[in-house]
Structure 1
Amino acid sequence: MKYVLMFIETEQYRKDWEAKDQSERDAAFEAVGRWFAEHGQKITHSTQLQPAHAATTLRLSGAGEPVMTDGPFVEGKEVVSGYVEAELADLDEALRMARSWPACPVVEIRPAS
């Protein structure tokens, strides 16, 4: 079954990231690289998204014209920063994979068709 794991940054995660020195960032990138290598046979697609300020949102109200705004789709403190699609046996396997993610503190898992 296909699952999408969405990696979600929090405001605190972003602040902590910006406070890291280059050696700490390099170590974090290496940890993410190891995670991708470990799960690479199951990942069918992945991407890192541009920051939320680069987003454009179209709100479809059903009445009148859609409203277009710059920025993310919700006013919130969490932003999806990337995702992977993976072929996995079941939700338990998706949970095991998500638990080992070494970066963003939130991972949303959704079945995909």
Structure 2
Amino acid sequence: MARYLLLIHGDEREWAAMSDQQRQELAEGHRAFVAAGGAAVLDSGELEPASLATSLRADPTGRLTITDGPFLETKEAVGGYYLIEAADLDEVIGLASRLYEASAGHSGVEIRPVVEHG
């Protein structure tokens, strides 16, 4: 079995503008995803807005610089994640397609295999 990280990204303004009904539907979709995934869902979490991010990187001299916000200026930000275990990518796609964010016009789900060391 391989592990995959599902990165949920979207337009934070769209998420913030959701009605209570839309938020309830979103939450129900995540509960259904976790139920369908069962023991394959190893971990998950919702992230605070990108405006609360802190980024670290080296300047040209190698000195560490700390900045507020994400690395990239973009309309979309990572809003949450799932770490799942699955037999193959097709299984992951089948699960991920259940997520609201996979079909909403302002968001999406990126699937990345986790590198297994040693």
- Say yes or no: TM over 0.5: yes
Q: Distance in 2 between the 1:92 and 1:83 partners?
A: 18
Structure 1 residues 1-113: aligned runs within 5 Å: 1-10=2-11, 14-61=12-59, 63-103=61-101, 105-112=107-114, 113=116
Q: Report the Cα offset of residue 89 of structure 1.
A: 0.5
- Residues 97 and 62 from structure 1, CA distance in 2 versus in 1: closer, same or farther, beyond 3 angstroms? farther
Q: TM-score, normalised by structure 1?
A: 0.84
The runs of at least 4 consecutive aligned structure 1 residues that moved more than 4 Å come to none
1:75 corresponds to which letter in structure 2?
E
Q: CA deviation at 1:34?
A: 1.4
Residues 29, 98 of structure 2: 8 Å contact kept? no
Mind listing any 5+ residue stretches in structure 1 that lack a counterpart?
none
TM-score scaled to structure 2, two decimals? 0.81
Following superposition, the deviation at residue 18 of structure 1 comes to 3.3
Tell me the secondary structure at the aligned position of residue 63 of structure 1. Answer: coil
Seq. identity, %: 36
Aligned residues: 110
